[in-house]
Amino acid sequence: MTNDTEQVMNLKINKEKPFLVGAVAYDAKVVTIWEGFKEYFRERDFPFDFVLFSNYETQVESHLAGRLHAAWNSPLAWIEARRLAERRGRQARAGVMRDTDQDLTSVIIVRSDSGINTVADLKGKTVATGALDSPQATLIPLMHLHSQGLEPGRDFEVRRFDIMVGKHGDHVGGERDAVEALMGGEVDAACILDANHLVFGKEGTIMQGASRILTQSAPFDHCNFTLLEDVDTETEARFSQILLGMSYDDPKVRPLLDLEGLKQWKEGRTTGYTQLEQACDTFGVIDPWLDANA
């Protein structure tokens, strides 16, 4: 155990040593969100600050090194943190998550006039995905196809759009590019988050009636606040209580919640990560990183 970790374990939260949360800066709005949250916590006598990272792997490493009390993690970063903690004889737990983090689905869409009507029809075709580390636009939909007997790279070609790798799909760049490739006839199918299918239709990336859903994944969960065993239960309870107490009816809080994409914080759960766990095991996507950092 490092000296940094021992310092965090013995830390009494105060103005000089606030509760420190890590988050990944996938967009400029992240600064506005966390500055607002910082003020909200401090108004409730809970010293709070945040550190922004350029990628989730560095955030997970910093958390395990004892430099953070909690990390706002993507679902893949949650698995990275949990598995790396286990390798080091430690324990990670999932705290609060957003209402919009629960029961999401990924879809694989095709052009309406494509003649592709079943998953089996994708054999020999080209499927576009988001970045290689995107749970919703790459790992989960490819696992979904794998579970139905189609092996990526063997039964169909994968064309990835590696936009902002390291941010685990916390953006729609790769997904939008995948859809544009589909609409342009460059690929035969595209993997995207179900909610983004609606967004792309509203913004005109997908013209009305130009696409249809070929298949849809089972529901899964997204982000959570990840904590390690070095945060005492009383501090964690207070941290969670303040988050859960945020009300969408509060005019001061609502803009922050809108920017973060939620209406209500929920108690965390881990039951929604099964598909992503299976994808990690099947494709070995995080094994090299785990081996290098264990």
Looking at the fold, whether 7 and 94 belong to one and the same domain comes out as yes
* pLDDT bucket at 4, cuts 50 / 70 / 90: very low
| Model pLDDT for residues 252-268, shown as the tens digit of each residue | 999 999 999 999 999 99
Choosing from 194, 216, 238, the residue where a domain stops is 216
Q: Are residues 165 and 242 in the same domain?
A: no
Domain boundary among 201, 216, 231: 216
> Are 181 and 228 contained in the same domain?
no
> pLDDT tens digits, residue range 91-134?
999 999 999 999 999 999 999 999 999 999 999 999 999 999 99
What pLDDT shows up at residue 12? 62
Domain that holds residue 150: 106-216
- Higher confidence at residue 39 or residue 5? 39
pLDDT at res. 2: 39
Cα(68)–Cα(231) distance, integer angstroms: 10
pLDDT of residue 5: 43
Tell me which of 216, 243, 266 is where a domain ends: 216
Query: For 186-215, how does the pLDDT look when each residue is reduced to its tens digit (9 = 90+)?
Result: 999 999 999 999 999 999 999 999 999 999
What confidence tier does 6 reach under pLDDT thresholds 50, 70, 90?
Answer: very low
Same domain, 40 and 120: no
Region 19-48: what's the mean pLDDT? 96
Averaged pLDDT, 4-8: 41
209 burial type by CB count under 10 A (0-12 exposed, 13-18 middle, 19+ buried): exposed
Cβ burial of 181 (10 Å; 0-12, 13-18, 19+) is middle
Pairing assessment for the beta strands 189-193 and 106-111 based on DSSP bridges: antiparallel
pLDDT the model gives residue 13? 67
User: Does the structure show a pLDDT above 90 at 8?
Assistant: no
Average pLDDT taken over every residue of the chain: 94
Which phi and psi (to 5°) does residue 68 adopt? -130, 150
234 and 146 in a single domain? The answer is no
CATH number at residue 195: 3.40.190.10
Single out the residue of 25, 192, 211, 207 nearest to residue 106, CA to CA: 192
- Total number of domains in the chain: 2
> Are residue 71 and residue 161 in the same domain, yes or no?
no
pLDDT number for residue 171: 83
In terms of Cα–Cα distance, which of 217, 59, 58, 201 is closest to 129?
A: 217
121 and 196, same domain (yes or no): yes
Q: Does 136 lie in the same domain as 178?
A: yes
Is the domain of 75 the same as that of 133?
Answer: no
Residue 69 has pLDDT above 80, yes or no: yes
- Is the domain of 208 the same as that of 166? yes
Instruction: Look at 9-13, 75-79, 96-100 and tell me which has the smallest mean pLDDT.
Output: 9-13
Is the same domain home to 67 and 52? yes
Is 226 in the same domain as 248?
yes
